[in-house]
Amino acid sequence: MPSSNNASTPSSPCVLVTGGAGFIGSHTVLELITQGFKVVVVDNLCNSCEEPLRRIEKLSGLTEQIPFHSVDLANIDALRGVFKAHTISSVIHFAALKAVGESVQKPLEYYRNNITGTLNLLEVMLQFGVKNIVFSSSATVYKADYDGNPLRETNELGCTSPYGRTKLYMESIIRDVVDANSGWNAIMLRYFNPTGAHESGTMGEDPQQIPNNLMPYMSQVAVGNLKELRVFGTDYNTRDGTGVRDYIHVMDLAEAHVVALKRLPLHKGYEVFNVGSGTGQTVLEMIEAMSEACGKKIPYVLEGRRPGDIDTILCDPTKSTKELGFQVSRDLKQMCTDLWRWQKNNPNGYK
């Protein structure tokens, strides 16, 4: 049964955050509340739990619980119930399955979940006259640039995984809805590699299984939950032979979503922005930075390349700086320091 805690009255406009109990979603909810927005959270909890919402309430000083509905976007009737219970003015859409490797093994599950959920969300938004949406997209929508040049919003699109294709298709569906319906506004945020945690050490990433990504895996090694890190590929055309990626602090990313939300009523139609630092670190540099943050060496082993991995993936943030007015403010040291504080204080995540 869907749960709802102290639902806002119909007269109080709210921002609906789908997937708001997840890693990026929960940090964005905190930033929204900190900036004075009323928030309603929808999450099916397949890869998350309600505990981040309780911690957001403490951090933000809320005197009542955040309205929360345990609803799967595939259940359109339950989703309609959320829109009936609240006056929703805009949506930030995070809810999706997101593991690249898993999507290769379970493509139908990813297409069914991610695309059906987005179709249902847009249909209900149309029904209730909600015309503003920020979509949490991904740099995986870009065709790999083997020259290592920073990726711009105008780069050719093309995906190497079912997960990436679902993000690209979701973008296309949203654009078609915006083009077909007067007054609709949408911003796609294509971001790169989020990491870090809230500076309080009480909120962070809590993978429900063995992590797929470098930084959460490394933090699990640092805290002793995993034996060692596996470094895939040492012969890339980079400064130390390991792959280069563009990392962004999760709180910078949360702030970017709020900046985008504020832009929606001011710049009509459909827009796309990259969100990243514009600089990159190698895997070995990330290991060194994390080792420094936690005060001990991170054990790792060197292995061969994985199929499909490329030398360098970097963001060109020029457009988001000039037009969105957003720049990252947290550096690599803070990403690792905050990540370690979270992992050290919560060795088993939110459990």
**Tally of helices (H runs) and strands (E runs) in the chain:** 12, 14
Look up residue 294 and give its amino acid. Answer: C
| DSSP 3-state of 303 | strand
Radius of gyration of the chain (CA): 20
Q: Is 111 a catalytic residue?
A: no
Distance set, CA 256 to CA 95, 188, 329 (Å): 17, 11, 11
CB contact at 8 A, 89 and 8: no
Identified catalytic residue from 110, 142, 163, 270: 163
What letter represents residue 261's amino acid?
Answer: L
DSSP-assigned states of every residue in 116-131? HHHHHHHHHHHHHT--
Identify whether the C-beta of residue 175 lies closer than 8 Å to the C-beta of residue 270: yes
State how far the Cα of 328 lies from the Cα of 251, in Å rounded to an integer.
Answer: 9
CB contact at 8 A, 192 and 250: no
Where does residue 297 fall: left (phi above 0), alpha (psi -120 to 50 degrees), or beta otherwise? beta
What is the pairing mode between strands 193-195 and 132-138? unpaired
Inter-residue contact 157 to 142 (CB < 8 Å): yes
Q: What share of the chain is helix, strand, coil (3-state, %, to 5)?
A: 40, 20, 40
CA distance 248 to 253: 7
Find residue 271's DSSP bridge partners.
187
18 bridge partner residues: 42, 93
Residue with tokens 């490394």: 218
Distance CA 75, CA 135 (A): 20
Query: Where in the sequence numbering do the catalytic residues fall?
Result: 163
